[in-house]
Amino acid sequence: MQIKISTVFVDDQEKALAFYTGKLGFRKMADIHMGPTYRWLTVVSPEGVHGVELQLESIVGFDAARAFQASLYESGRPCTAFVTEDVEAEARQLRERGVTVRGEPIDMGPIKAVMFEDGCGNLIHLVQPLVLPPQ
């Protein structure tokens, strides 16, 4: 068994696609319209694990997802985390691309991290591991 797809709820799939590809440098993987209202949309990271996709799932018409997303955002909790080797450089690059980064990276023990906004209703935790996992 393996993790293949992780989902992020977004308020606008077109806006999300533009952000995740244009600002983060991800690549569109799948864009399939399934009927009049459903769109299966995924992106991949060129630096990520091969075969792992991030689904950009619309909250339109999905009240439970809208409430969940709003609750996470309002409480300051990230919906997911992305990993980088240099969180300070990555945060600087995100700011240069116009991304709202919340504060400066802080040392949190085994990680250094900062949050940023995706503009689609989510906070994303950007994490740099400081301790390598056991081999």
Sorted by where each starts, the structural domains of the chain and their CATH numbers stand as 5-129 (3.10.180.10)
pLDDT digits (tens, 9 = 90+) for 42-83: 999 999 888 999 999 999 999 999 999 999 999 999 999 999
Note the helical H segments in 24-124. 63-74, 87-96
Identify whether the C-beta of residue 72 lies closer than 8 Å to the C-beta of residue 7: no
pTM of the entire structure? 0.92
Mean pLDDT of 8-27: 97
CA atoms within 13 A on the CB side of 89: 5
In whole angstroms, how far apart are CA 34 and each of 30, 40, 65, 70, 100? 12, 7, 19, 26, 33
Kind plus residue range of the DSSP H or E element containing 13:
helix 13-18
Q: Give the N- to C-terminal CA distance of the chain in Å, as an integer.
A: 21
Cα-based angle 85, 91, 94 (whole degrees, multiple of 5): 115
